[in-house]
Amino acid sequence: MTNARHPAFFGYGSLVNRATHDHAPSAPVTLSGWRRVWRQTVLRPYAFLSVEPAESEIQGLVAAVPDDDWAALDRRESAYLRHSVSPASLSAPDWAETVQIYAVDDTHHAPDASHPILLSYLDVVVQGFLREFGRDGARGFFATTTGWSAIHDDRAAPIYPRHQALTGTERRLVDDCLDEWGIVRLPG
């Protein structure tokens, strides 16, 4: 194995789900000084998952960006800007030279809008948290995320481009958490 060091990103949503990207190596970590938030934007009629500085901590995945090749990831995250993560805010693996995080560009923010969250997007995020952090980590995602709005139930005809097939257990966990948090579900 090589001792190569790479720039890396901290994924806190769909990038936690390794099935949505091929960035390696990667490792689950906890980041302090940030929180997850659903953001309303002028870019689309559905909410984006983002982060903002806050006195809290969130779990996520650090993954390498070999050869400093951010182009494909920047295209995927085109609504977002990259920000440097302080080395003191997480215990990054030895191979992570620097770590960056994507947050929705403030110029796109539409605070008065009320866009629903795509269920196919949420499914991907929760599936990733289940795989990386187990049931408690997936449930913790709901507890450590703010800005919840109604859910657009597109599970039967997914709109999210990187949707994944969920097992019955994964679907039940998402549905149970939505019910427990009282999050309204709109028909697709």
Any idea what the CATH number is for the domain that residue 46 is in?
3.10.490.10
Q: Does 138 score more than 80 pLDDT?
A: yes
Under a CB-based contact definition with an 8 Å cutoff, are residues 188 and 154 in contact?
yes
**Tokens for 64?**
């390498």
Whole domain around residue 24: which residue ranges? 6-186
Find, among 162, 31, 52, 163, the residue nearest to 104 by Cα.
52
Mean pLDDT of 113-137: 97
Amino acid at 150: A
The per-residue pLDDT for 2 is: 54
178 lies in some domain: yes
Report the distance separating Cα 106 and Cα 86, nearest Å: 21
When comparing pLDDT for 107 and 112, which is higher? 107
Instruction: Tell me the per-residue pLDDT of 83-104, one tens digit each, with 9 for 90 and over.
Output: 999 999 999 899 999 999 999 9
The per-residue pLDDT for 1 is: 42
Instruction: Tell me the per-residue pLDDT of 31-61, one tens digit each, with 9 for 90 and over.
Output: 999 999 999 999 999 999 999 999 999 999 9
**Tokens for 100?**
């960056």
Q: What is the tally of structural domains in the chain?
A: 1
**Tokens for 11?**
């994924």
41 lies in some domain: yes
Strands, DSSP E only, in the chain?
6-11, 26-39, 48-64, 80-84, 96-104, 117-118, 145-146, 151-152, 185-186
168 lies in some domain: yes
Find, among 92, 95, 104, the residue nearest to 32 by Cα.
92
Q: What are phi and psi of 74, to 5 degrees?
A: -65, -35
Q: Does 160 score more than 50 pLDDT?
A: yes
Report the distance separating Cα 93 and Cα 45, nearest Å: 37
Q: Does 12 score more than 90 pLDDT?
A: yes
Mean pLDDT of 55-84: 95
133 lies in some domain: yes
1 lies in some domain: no
At 112, is the pLDDT very low, low, confident or very high (cuts 50, 70, 90)? confident
**Sheet-wide strand order for 185-186:** 117-118, 151-152, 185-186
The per-residue pLDDT for 11 is: 98
The per-residue pLDDT for 111 is: 84
23 lies in some domain: yes
Q: Which residue shows structure tokens 């693996």? A: 93
Report the distance separating Cα 68 and Cα 157, nearest Å: 36
Residue % of the chain over a pLDDT of 90: 92
pTM, rounded to two decimals: 0.95
